[in-house]
Structure 1
Amino acid sequence: MSEISQLTAEDPDLARAREGDDAAFSRLVAPLRRELHAHCYRMLGSAHDADDALQDALLRAWRGLARFEGRSSLRSWLYTVATRTSLDLIETRGRRAMPVDLGPASDHTVVGDAPRTDVAWLGPYPDADLTDGTAGRYEQREAVELAFVAALQHLPGNQRAALLLFEVLGFSAAEIATMMSTSITSVNSALARARRVVAERVPSATQQQTLRAVGDARVREIVEGYAAALARGDADALVALLTEDVTWSMPPMPHWYRGLAAVTDFALRVPLTGCGSWRHLLTHANGQPAAASYLWDDAAGAHLAWSINVLSLRGERIAEITTFIGPELFPPFGLPLSLP
């Protein structure tokens, strides 16, 4: 437990912050900003929405600091504010979707697939600064894995909040009841329902378990092999890396593909031969290996940022490719927008 978790009403920085010292307030919240942001992402499924939620939550906390009496930890109080702020955003913005939520897989390549702008899409999360020092059942990186965050989107806001606060952050049912202004019975009921939904949608083996079993060196070889196969237009090399039941989705494109035949057909028609020259940078997203794709642009005379490809492994094969399209995704990952 960090020192900030045990702050009392007599803490000097807390007293200064209550008197209007914004620098003191910034010092108070700085050690918790990253984990609060990750919490907002889990709740909302969007790094952009998490930015908005955290900014709003910290503003609410700053304005309401006088109401913090020190009976609970400052960490608990800030999580209360961040959770309630996220619940408000869920009410106005709804849940985030993946292509699999919109309909069945396509068994052949959809030529000219157009982006769906009427759908709020789940987005990738830059995980470089996440630590594993949580008190709950899930590690921080497990708790931002795509399958887990996507499953959370199928829960009502109160169930989503209860599950995260209990399983990921280690708060007790009694603490959560206080944080959410409800009863312990209601919290336990929400937890039971949330666990059932998540268990149905999340693989039993997490990506963190798989990655540890495979080992860093081999994981890097797999990601490098994926990137090299796309860059060379080598279908055989790509197929050799995939599971028989592999899936490939490309939000904001609505169509997605399942199985080696459909995925191979798509790869041959679109990224391998139908787009142009690719370059890639290896990165990480959602606690998983990823490759940032850059597509050649004649007018710019450079390879421009195109997509973040998040890979889910089963053993030493790629079981799922999620290609998040859009150059706006690159800056949060510290990635350049072009490669010369």
Structure 2
Amino acid sequence: MTAKPKVAVIGTGGTISSVGRGPLDLIDYSAAGRMLDVNGVIARVPELALVAEIIPVPFKAIPSTAIGWAEWKELLLICDRLVAEHPDLAGIAVTHGTASLEETAYFLSLTLRVPVPVVLVGAQRPASALAGDGPMNLLNAVRVASDPRARGLGALVLLNDEIQAAREVTKTSTLRMQTFRTPDFGVLGQADADEICWYRKPLRRMAPDTEFDVRSLDALPRVDIAYAYAGADGAAIDAFVSAGARGIVTAGFAPGYVTPAMAKAMEAAVAKGIAVVLSSRAGSGRAGKTTRGRKSGFVTADNLTPQKARVLLSLALAAGVTDLERVFATY
């Protein structure tokens, strides 16, 4: 009998582990104040034993709105430890709330050093929901994590039977099942019932081959996001500078423009040595390179969303990178 692949499942909380007040409590379930730990989540999906030998890894049971640098670093170190302790480990699945899942995924995709696939998985409906999506999402995440073809693709995201690249995927709908999408390029593959199907690979540099090692860091440099809207002034940018920001990312009008008042405040920030990166609030497409942007010392985020550009800029500043244009063209 062929041995099943060994897959670790790290639980961080989120909707996939939440228990509401009843099967139709699909929106306000957090009011119940109950989340399952990873063992509780796994216990609800006994079918996992059909596809892998599961190693439960308790971490936290919190909403993903509460996840940030401290949790990111701890997840990174847990992945390191799991690979060291289990030389035959096929892969790692991380259950995660969908609110900030894409940011955690991109951070890991830029910093992981483990050779095995790491797949982040969440759910749009809580564990207590009628027809909840969590169990099948988790089963498919484990299947993808154990697939050798998933190696070398950075961190991956699995929901709704679709395999997405961490750099490219974003949450596009608050409640719909098909919320995680890659607007510009589409999925990497699909987790169908009969097999895992792959169709493309991302080309940008990603884990485990990156220049970012945060394991010895206590914190990342502060980077804030300034949102552009009609009539916006520079108050938010000035406040970020006063708060100690070392970088500012704009969520600009497509394809990356901001108001004149914001541009003036951004130019003043650059003069103080603060990195300014232009992104777009549109959700897809590249931020355009303009003559004024170059003259002002702004860097463009390529097609990264503002929240992803913030992660990359913070890591680049922590690594002492001076050529930010290169970084945003590489990752």
Structure with the larger helix share = 1
Structure with the larger strand share = 2
TM over 0.5: no
For the pair shown, the structure with the greater C-alpha radius of gyration is 1
Q: How does the TM-score come out when normalised to structure 1?
A: 0.29
Greater RCO (Cα-Cα under 8 Å, separation 6 or more): 1
